[in-house]
Amino acid sequence: MTELSDLSRSLGEHPLCQGLREEDVAFLAGCAKNQRTASGAFLAREGDPASSLFLIRSGSVALEVQRPGRVSRVETVGAGDVLGWNVLFPPHAWHLDLRALDSVLAFAVDGACLRGKLASDHSFGFRIAMRLLERVHNRLERARLAQLDVLGR
């Protein structure tokens, strides 16, 4: 087996890719690489260019906002989650810090490569966009419920 076919097989097991056609997973794998991030290290920092979409395989990531004199955790995500759909939208910048709470293994999907593939194959683009949109919807629902809980409503 080649390295790309191994990557494609592993990528196909991530919840974002489960149920996709094999050729779609292989097409996406052309933009992906494995990335390991040590506990306490940052996958991304607020304001930095958003160059990768992260598909978390294992470990936990804190989404944090820096405030004067303190850090506020917005959410914690883990295996199966997706971070960084902002790679698709200008200005392609991070709006939060992403800090590994323990050792994190993720697929890092190159944003420029992904944008190119979405534009070159609209059917593939639609299938990936719908899957990402579902994750955005779920994240917004969790944020709404968390806000209601904080407000005591």
Instruction: Tell me the domains of the chain and their CATH numbers.
Output: 3-151 (2.60.120.10)
Q: CA dihedral in degrees (149, 150, 151, 153; nearest 10)? A: 10
pTM exceeds 0.95: no
Calculate the average pLDDT of the chain: 93
User: Nearest 5°: CA angle at 49, between 45 and 54?
Assistant: 70
Q: Is 8 in contact with 25 (CB distance < 8 Å)?
A: yes
Q: What gap in Å lies between CA 21 and CA 123, rounded to an integer?
A: 12
93: DSSP letter: B
pLDDT digits (tens, 9 = 90+) for 76-131: 999 999 999 999 999 999 999 999 999 999 999 999 999 999 999 999 999 999 99
Rounded Cα–Cα distance for residues 58 and 3 (Å): 20
> What tokens were used for 83?
């971070």
